[in-house]
Amino acid sequence: MKITEIKVIVCSPGRNFTTVKIITDEGVYGIGDGTVNGRELAVVSYLQDHIAPTLIGKDPLRTEDIWQYLYKGAYWRRGPITMAAIAAIDMALWDIKAKVAGMPLYQLLGGRSRDKVMVYKHVGGLDIPEVVEGVLKLKEQGLEAIRAQVSIPGLPPIYGTGPSTDQAAGGMIKPMVTEEVWATHKYLPLVPKLFDKLRDAVGWDVHLLHDVHHRLTPIEAARLGKDLEPYRLFWLEDAIPAELQEGFRLIRQHTTQPLAVGEVFNSIYDTTTLISEQLIDYIRVTAVHAGGVTGIKKIFDYASIYHVKSACHGPMDMSPATMGANIHVDTAISNFGIQEFTGYTKETYDVFKCDWRYDRGYLYPNETPGHGTDIDEDLAAKYPYQAAYLPVARLEDGSMTSW
């Protein structure tokens, strides 16, 4: 079997997605996701101009060798664009391999370690009562794990705090960069008040999570973690900018609050200090941003030695192909923790055909061969790329934040 063609498909059915389709001389093909939200076209160029020409004629079943070839062959290793491009190829190759084997992907990764994959979804609100109401609604829908965020009084809602836009058509697609305002001293006393009200409302049977979005210093995060201990959060996510792994040592010294980080990581080398020193409890790398199935399997196997669990990032700005790959890894590994899942717009589900499924707080892998996601190219062409930028934040005095 040989690779004969590699297509790169860019479409925007609610969000922008960069999709790879690898076609073989035996008619078997595979789908992979290379989306980097806000930098989609950089990955397109990397794939079309630098990767695709080097893979024509190669054996698609040599997944490990091709992964190493792409990683080491670039010389300028790692980085979000390189690793997303590698991820797209790797995901598609594993899809092909599983189809050739006639098995769902998880069978090639060791078979089932569990029957279903627990997920969490998001609730945001302008004030605490609105968030409490939203959390109760998700609980009624069968969710056992819910992330809660609230806007800071006196400031406009900003990314990751206010009413959730996860299901909104268009999502984070913005024609220009928007600037937002952040105030740590107003945020720190607010969050414990939110979770005090949430525990009163939902009791102790629901896992509650919170995402800081990298907005604190280590000592500020330590203070917040200590203040949240009475409410026993499932985790405190992205408490500080993730580049400074050593900063988590300070947080660990002051709180027993479980910690999660890693959605912006793109290789195992980003995780070594955090995992080996057991400074975190959940590692949030995801297939599209950390080198595909091959990349995250390496990280999760390493993490298992140190009692660190998986928690794949899973917002709407990674395609259903990534979600399919994540679900199969989640199903197979021994140290699974939880899977983020915000769902997708109807338009996205129309373009991407999914055999995996969601039901009342759990994801279930497909039993069909492959990772269970395909793309309708004709329909995708009806949703052309749109300029997309994530927001940036400034402090109230107008200066850029440290994150």
Identify whether 306 is a catalytic site residue: no
Max CA separation in the chain (angstroms): 62
Instruction: Label residue 368 exposed, middle or buried (CB < 10 Å: 0-12, 13-18, 19+).
Output: middle
Q: pTM score, two decimals?
A: 0.95
Question: Catalytic: which of 50, 69, 159, 306?
Answer: 159
Read off the pLDDT of residues 252-304 as tens digits, 9 standing for 90 and up.
999 999 999 999 999 999 999 999 999 999 999 999 999 999 999 999 999 99
Q: How confident is the model at residue 159 (pLDDT cuts 50, 70, 90)?
A: confident
If you average pLDDT over residues 89-100, what whole number do you get? 98
pLDDT at 164: 57
pLDDT at 170: 41
If you average pLDDT over residues 237-248, what whole number do you get? 92
Centre a 10 Å sphere on the Cβ of residue 338 and count the other Cβ atoms it contains: 24
Read off the pLDDT of residues 304-316 as tens digits, 9 standing for 90 and up.
999 999 999 999 9
- CA distances to 204, 220, 251 from 226, rounded to whole Å, are 19, 10, 9
Identify whether 185 is a catalytic site residue: no
Retrieve residue 379's tokens. Answer: 């329909």
pLDDT at 177: 81
pLDDT at 166: 45
Question: Catalytic: which of 213, 349, 358, 389?
Answer: 213
Q: Give the residue among 209, 200, 193 at the shortest CA–CA distance from 123.
A: 209
Q: Across all residues in the chain, what is the average pLDDT? A: 94
Read off the pLDDT of residues 27-45 as tens digits, 9 standing for 90 and up.
999 999 999 998 999 999 9
φ, ψ dihedrals at 174, nearest 5°:
-130, 140
Q: How confident is the model at residue 10 (pLDDT cuts 50, 70, 90)?
A: very high
pLDDT at 169: 38
